[in-house]
Amino acid sequence: MIEVVPINRLNLTDINMYQCGTEKCKPGHFFGPAVRDYYLIHYIIDGKGIFQIGNTTYNLSKGQGFLICPGVVTFYQADKEDPWYYTWIGFHGLKAEEYLKKANLTLENPIFTYTKDDFIENCFREMIEIRKMERAREIRLLGLFYMFISQLAEVCGNISQNDDLKNTKEHYINKMIEFIELNYSRKISIFEMSKYVGLDRSYMGAIFKDYFNTSPQKYLMKFRINKACELMSNPNLTIGDISRSVGYEDPLLFSKTFKKIKGVSPKEYRKNMHIMKDKEKYSSRYGCECTLW
């Protein structure tokens, strides 16, 4: 018995869902050798079988699963005496490989075991059951996929790899930039940032200065002003609206800071926006200050 939920592809970039389904296989039922053009994960609810990739054969049973990667020849077959009953989900997307790595699933390590509870099985069961939804089925399926992969990453993720990542400066830098990008539109403090990153304020500042050759405060200031420049092209926004949108409640302070960084007032920048953008591109390309108007 096979149950398949076809999925209309949403215009998404992170994850694109293809289909999900479940099958109680007949004894000896097999598929392959064949290739897929998307990622496919099978999770065994009951029974057993084999999964072959290259010269490696895995004997799998209840509570285990296997990953099929795009463009890779694989073969899998249900046991002749105790055929498996499995569920599957097919997907692709720009972040598919990244999410799989967090769950410690790669071409070199395509097998996982999850026997902690019924969480994953229930996720798949819900995916099958919502096939009756008409308007929001794809969105619900995507939500269940994120729940599934996050649980897998939490339980089966490579702990040592994650710990090593946390000890690198790149990890802290990414956390700092993430904090700024998420919070630049409101009043924030360096102490708040250091708490988010998980570092002493002074040490955080030293790492930031070493990486960007500027302080977190100055980086935040330039980040806000650059965001303000992006908003200038919206004629429905006043200078005051833009000021508040990038974290400056005081329009005068915003104008003063803007002129300090861009060399002109917000009003002048907006008036000559196309010329100013050309000037910035020229300065960025040749590493010099120039006057075009």
pLDDT at 290 over 90: no
The tokens describing 284, both together, are: 């960025």
The DSSP letter of residue 82 is S
| Percent residues over pLDDT 90 in the chain | 47
Is the bond into 83 cis (omega within 30 degrees of 0)?
no
The lowest-confidence range among 1-15, 111-125, 201-215 is 1-15
Residues 179 and 219 placed together within one structural domain of the fold = yes
Residues 142 and 32 placed together within one structural domain of the fold = yes
**In sequence order, what are the residues at sequence separation of 6 or more whose Cβ sits closer than 8 angstroms to the Cβ of residue 224?**
184, 246, 247, 248, 257
pLDDT bin (cut points 50, 70, 90) of residue 13 is low
Considering the domain boundaries, does residue 293 fall inside one?
no
- Residues 24-34 have a mean pLDDT of 92
Residues 201 and 77 placed together within one structural domain of the fold = no
Helix (H, G, I), strand (E, B) or coil at 147: helix
Residues 136 and 254 placed together within one structural domain of the fold = no
d(Cα 194, Cα 75) in Å, to the nearest integer?
50
Residues 142 and 247 placed together within one structural domain of the fold = no
Q: If we measure between CA atoms, which residue out of 273, 267, 222, 266 comes closest to residue 247?
A: 222
pLDDT at 280 over 70: no
Q: If we measure between CA atoms, which residue out of 30, 23, 70, 76 comes closest to residue 53?
A: 76
Q: Nearest 5°: phi and psi at 292?
A: -110, -5
Considering the domain boundaries, does residue 23 fall inside one?
yes
Helix (H, G, I), strand (E, B) or coil at 25: coil
pLDDT bin (cut points 50, 70, 90) of residue 102 is confident
- Residues 91-120 have a mean pLDDT of 89
The tokens describing 172, both together, are: 């802290």
pLDDT of residue 164: 52
pLDDT of residue 281: 55
d(Cα 222, Cα 206) in Å, to the nearest integer?
19
Domain of 190, CATH number, reads 1.10.10.60
Residues 10 and 83 placed together within one structural domain of the fold = yes
Considering the domain boundaries, does residue 261 fall inside one?
yes
Considering the domain boundaries, does residue 83 fall inside one?
yes
Contact 28, 15 (CB under 8 A): no
What mean pLDDT is reported for the chain?
84
- 222-274: per-residue pLDDT in tens? 999 999 999 998 989 999 999 999 999 999 999 999 999 999 999 999 988 76
Query: Which of residues 158, 188, 221 is at a domain's end?
Result: 158
Residues 9 and 153 placed together within one structural domain of the fold = yes
Full residue range of the structural domain in which residue 52 is found: 2-158
Contact 61, 47 (CB under 8 A): yes
Give the total number of structural domains in the chain: 2
pLDDT of residue 236: 92
- 158-211: per-residue pLDDT in tens? 654 445 555 577 888 988 999 999 999 998 988 899 888 888 889 899 999 988
Helix (H, G, I), strand (E, B) or coil at 112: strand
Domain of 31, CATH number, reads 2.60.120.280
The DSSP letter of residue 229 is H
Rounded to two decimals, the pTM is 0.58
**In sequence order, what are the residues at sequence separation of 6 or more whose Cβ sits closer than 8 angstroms to the Cβ of residue 8?**
138
d(Cα 207, Cα 170) in Å, to the nearest integer?
10
Query: Which of residues 110, 131, 158 is at a domain's end?
Result: 158
Considering the domain boundaries, does residue 292 fall inside one?
no
pLDDT of residue 278: 53
Three-state secondary structure string covering 169-221:
HHHHHHHHHHHHHHHCCCCCCHHHHHHHHCCCHHHHHHHHHHHHCCCHHHHHH
Query: Which of residues 99, 127, 158 is at a domain's end?
Result: 158
Helix (H, G, I), strand (E, B) or coil at 288: coil
Considering the domain boundaries, does residue 240 fall inside one?
yes
pLDDT of residue 10: 47
pLDDT bin (cut points 50, 70, 90) of residue 277 is low
The tokens describing 288, both together, are: 């010099």
Residues 282 and 180 placed together within one structural domain of the fold = yes
d(Cα 37, Cα 41) in Å, to the nearest integer?
13
Contact 17, 70 (CB under 8 A): no
pLDDT at 286 over 80: no
Residues 174 and 273 placed together within one structural domain of the fold = yes
Residues 65 and 141 placed together within one structural domain of the fold = yes
Residues 241 and 211 placed together within one structural domain of the fold = yes
Per the model's pLDDT, the better-predicted residue between 4 and 171 turns out to be 171
Could you tell me the CA-to-CA distances from 189 to 6, 182, 200 in Å, in that order? 48, 13, 13
Residues 152 and 80 placed together within one structural domain of the fold = yes
